[in-house]
Amino acid sequence: MSYTNVHVNISENQQQKLKHAVDTKSPASIRLGYEDLCGSDVLALTNLQMNRRTKAYQDGKGITIKMSKRQVVHNMKTEGGFLSFLAGLATKTLPFLAKTVLPTLSTGVLSGFGWALAQKTTNKAMGNRQRL
């Protein structure tokens, strides 16, 4: 089947719904209001969906777009689409976190542990006395 990329507005809840459909490899449907028919998110639609979108826009109405499993997967691969962005973000973020943030956190934890151990050792050696 052939798809055409269009720009629409997709809310956070709809993005989560579509992401869940991708994860479970199931069909999904989203409701686009009139104001959502043009936007910055890329969505791959069939010719029939494109015609319905155009007619709804001309009539000043919204539409419900029903996407098959195959269409959901295709949207995952669509370059510039938000679903591919979400997948790409996860694959790019996890290695970055593993290389930069996690070692820094572990170093901080270990140095804090070392400081606490040194304090405890010093207090035992001094008999927990306070000096004035």
The token duo for 62 is: 């919204």
The pTM for the full model equals: 0.58
The per-residue pLDDT for 1 is: 77
With b for 16 or more beta-carbon neighbours within 10 A and e for fewer, the 66-105 pattern comes to ebeeebbebbbebeebbbbeeeeeeeeeeeeeeeeeeeee
Better pLDDT: 59 or 89? 59
- Residues 71-85 have pLDDT tens digits of 988 887 776 555 555
Mean pLDDT, to the nearest integer, of 53-71? 94
Q: Which of 14, 77, 68, 17 is nearest to 46 (CA)?
A: 68
Flag whether pLDDT at 103 surpasses 70: no
The per-residue pLDDT for 67 is: 94
Q: What percent of the chain is predicted at pLDDT more than 70?
A: 59
